[in-house]
Amino acid sequence: MSSFAKAMAVLAPNAIWTAENNKITEWLSKDIEKPTQKAIDAKVKEFDDQIPMDQLRDKRNKKLAETDYWGLSDMTMTDAQKKYRQDLRDITKTATSLDDVKWPEIP
């Protein structure tokens, strides 16, 4: 879903509209207040600014999923494995995008 569509879903849920180039071209929901272009642009920017962190979380979550089996009841996770998984969970505390992340080594 585009940042524009997300913004519209937040600003005017259930509204019916058409748009082109992030601008509303037709507003069909007479009972729902049409958001201003300034409000739409601000919300779009907010969603766009989240994209690098969303990408970082997606990659981090994939790496965590790849090691989920370490926690199965018939396995005992080593301290190194626990630390690796914790380091992955903590990655968003220091990194702001995929470009500036230093991934921990898999034990």
Confidence (pLDDT) at 66: 96
Q: Summarize pLDDT for 3-52 with one digit per residue, the tens.
A: 999 999 999 999 999 999 999 999 999 999 999 999 999 999 999 999 99
Residues 6+ apart with CB under 8 A from 19: 4, 8, 25
* Token duo for residue 60: 């981090």
CA dist 19 and 66 (Å) reads 40
How many other CB atoms are there within 10 angstroms of residue 5's CB atom?
13
pTM attached to this predicted model: 0.73
Q: How many helices (H) and strands (E) does the chain have?
A: 3, 2
Q: Grade residue 94 by pLDDT with cuts at 50, 70 and 90.
A: confident
**pLDDT averaged over the chain?**
94
Question: Percent of the chain beyond pLDDT 70?
Answer: 100
**Nearest alpha-carbon partner for 88 in 64, 71, 67, 70:** 64
